[in-house]
Amino acid sequence: MTDKQWLQFWVDQGLDDDTIRQLIITALPGMANQSPDSNNQAILGVIADLIIDEVDEFRKIYESRSLDRAKGGILDDIAADWGVSRIDNDDDFLRFQIRLAKMLSRIGVTEDDIISLIAFILQADPTEFDVITDPDQLGGDPEAVRFTNIPNRYSKSARKKNLLVKALESAVMPEVKIVSVDFQAVASQMLYVATATKKERSHFAVMDSMRDRTHTTDDNTTVATVTQRQRLHQVSKEG
C-alpha cells in the first residue's frame, strides 16, 4: 500500500494521531476543567504525546511486517511461513511468489479458478487465453486439460513461465492430466504496398487517296496493386 493508503488504514482502525489525542483529552468527566489552558489539559496533552509515540512504533513494526513493505530478513521470514525460498535478491519477485503461495492455498479446482490463477500470475486479461476441457478436443480423455493461447508478452521472464507451469500442476486435481501449456507469439511484419501502372498507346494510320488521312489513338491503361503482408504465429509448448 502507498503512504496515503496506510494513513487511511490507521484512520479506519481508529489508531491515527488525531483520534488517539481526541480520546485522551476528552477522557475527563464533564465536571472537570477541560479548558485548553487548564492544568488538566496540559497533563492529558503530555500523556497523549507519550501514547502516540508508542502507537507510532507499533504502526511502524506492523507496516514493516506487511508484504508490501517487508524487505531483507523480514521478507525472507514471511516467505518461509508460506514455504517459499528466495532464488535471488529480487524482493519484488519474492513478494510475487508469496502472493502466489497464498492464492494457491485457497484456490479451488474449477475451470474459473484455474483461469483466475493464470490471470494472476501473468497479469493477463482472462479473455485472452483458453482452457480446453472438452474431451473431443483432447483425444477423448475426460480428465485432460490444455491451456492455450496464453499471450507471450505477459511471460517474457522464463522464471514466470516455469512458475506458471508448476503452479498449474499444483492447482489441478492429481488425476487431471495437463496435456500442454501453450504460449503464443504473434507479430506482423511491415506492410508493403506497390502499385504498377501500364499504359499502352496504339497508332492507327490510314493512307488512302480516296479518303482523308486519319490518325487515331487508343489508350489502354492497366493499374495493378500488389499488397504483401505476413503474419507470424508461433506457439511454444511448455510441459
Task: For 176-223, write each residue's pLDDT tens digit.
Answer: 888 888 887 655 454 444 444 444 454 444 444 444 444 444 444 444
d(CA 104, CA 111): 14
pLDDT digit string (tens) for 12-68?
889 899 999 999 988 877 667 677 778 888 888 999 999 999 999 999 888 888 888
Three-class SS state of 16: coil
The CA angle 88-93-99, to the nearest 5 degrees, is: 130
Query: Whole-model pTM?
Result: 0.54
Domain ranges of the chain: 3-64, 85-188, 192-229
Highest mean pLDDT among 73-77, 102-106, 209-213, 233-237: 73-77
Does pLDDT of 231 surpass 50? Answer: no
pLDDT digit string (tens) for 137-175?
888 888 888 888 887 766 667 777 787 788 777 777 777
Write the DSSP symbol of residue 89.
Answer: S
Three-class SS state of 69: coil
d(CA 116, CA 60): 33
What per-residue confidence (pLDDT) applies to 238?
52
Smallest CA-to-CA distance from 131 within 95, 101, 176, 94 is with 176
E strands within the chain? 130-132, 144-151, 177-188, 192-206, 214-228, 231-238
Three-class SS state of 207: coil
Does pLDDT of 133 surpass 80? Answer: yes
What per-residue confidence (pLDDT) applies to 67?
85
Residues constituting the chain? 239
119 CB neighbour count, 10 Å cutoff: 16
